[in-house]
Amino acid sequence: MSRPRIYLDHAATSPLRPEARAAMEEGFALWANPSSPHAEGRKAKQALEDARDRIKAALGLGQGDKNYELIFTSGASEALWIALNRAKANRRIVSAVEHDAVFRAAPDAEISSDESLFDAQTILAVQHVNSETGVINPVDQMAAALRETGAVMLSDCAQSAGKIELPDADMLVVSAHKFGGPIGIGALLMRDFNLLEPTGGHERGYRQGTENMPGALGMAAALEAGAWATSADQRAAFAAELSGDVLTFGDQADHILALAHPTMSAQALLIRLDAMGLAVSAGSACSSGTLKKSRVLDAFGVSDEVAARTIRVSLGWNTTAGELDQFVEAWRSL
């Protein structure tokens, strides 16, 4: 009998947690539009607001000086678009290693770290955890320095929400399907609604389209269910087993590893590992049948030759220590 397949591509998406599925089924029973004034609508609205409060509490952003406002979105991409295009700023600056969704939302943004550029008319986007390397950017320190200038700090937390403590930025973006919630629901959290220009519609006028209330309930339940089947010690031991092949860049999260094989191309590795029952992804993107170097790895200073041999292994809520052992065995066999 063949072994069950092992999924280690959680940075792309995580399987839906059973707690999230159950919460969504409850939400589907509340079928009315949350904006409707009748009893059915009010009941759906109450469920939506309850989910909003639960999500903020689970993220540690629901009280005291960390009592953020929350706008539900269809995911991180929409949240990034709203933040970058509706912030009360006329200058957008981003880091070179941002997710492609940032560059799609703000194609005219500057790539810079020059602090002399920051003022009250600037929004700076810096992701919290890099999706290809696991690098944790010092967003807290950057936000503190930026506050002196009056600029707004936006942090893409799609890869850190539900896994590590979120940074102290002015705006934060999260996506449910990265931590076992449903696809199609995310949020933009902010210190103050006044950071954005409203355009009318739902979510207090900051977003068009009816809210995905069942998705919001699933998102809340996934966060409350916790982060990991594996312990921090087990994840650290996994990285140590592969240390000779892990690309390191300083402070890194323990759920995303960029692994460079000594000789085999990333494309060949994906095929071989998939045939062995292991789902991972490439640190370089495939396009038109040719392997192109990742923009992110290039920004981190990884050579073309090493980038061509790099894959990404990412852990999630249902990853077990036994699965990690099996990956190490497969990796060493290759």
Q: DSSP per residue over 298-316, as a string?
A: HHTT--HHHHTTEEEEE--
DSSP 197-263: ---SSBGGGTB-S---HHHHHHHHHHHHT-S-SS-HHHHHHHHHHTTTTB---SSB-TTEEEEE-SS
Largest CA distance in the chain: 65
pLDDT of amino acid 288: 33
Task: Name the CA dihedral angle for 68, 73, 77, 83, rounded to a multiple of 10 degrees.
Answer: -40
Residues forming beta bridges with residue 189, ordered by sequence position: 70, 172
pLDDT for 74 equals 96
Helix/strand/coil for 173 = strand
Tens digit of each residue's pLDDT (9 = 90 or more) over 22-74: 999 999 999 899 999 999 999 999 999 999 999 999 999 999 889 999 999 99
Please give the DSSP secondary-structure letter assigned to residue 184.
T
pLDDT at 238: 97
- Beta bridge partners, 188, equal 71, 173
Q: Are 311 and 147 in contact (CB under 8 A)?
A: no
| Tokens coding 86 | 């509706």
Helix (H) or strand (E) holding 18: helix 18-29
Query: pTM of the full predicted structure?
Result: 0.94
pLDDT at 291: 54
In this structure, the number of other CB atoms found within 10 A of the CB of residue 313 comes to 28
* pLDDT computed for residue 292 by the predictor: 65
* Short-list 334, 277, 274, CA closest to 309: 334
Q: Are strands 152-156 and 122-125 parallel, antiparallel or unpaired?
A: parallel
Tell the burial category of 31 from Cβ atoms under 10 Å away from its Cβ (0-12, 13-18, 19+): exposed
Show the tokens assigned to 315.
Answer: 């852990």
**53, amino acid identity:** D
Which is nearest to 11 in space by CA: 137, 82, 99?
Answer: 99
The secondary structure of residue 295, as a DSSP letter, is H
For 135, the token pair is 């690098």
Ranges of residues in the chain with a pLDDT under 50 are: 284-290
Q: Quickly tell me which residue has 């995905």 as its tokens.
A: 212
pLDDT above 70 covers a percentage of the chain that reads 96
Contact 95, 208 (CB under 8 A): no
φ, ψ for residue 254 (rounded to 5)? -95, 10
Q: Note the pLDDT of residue 228.
A: 96
In degrees rounded to 5, what are phi and psi of residue 111? -105, 110
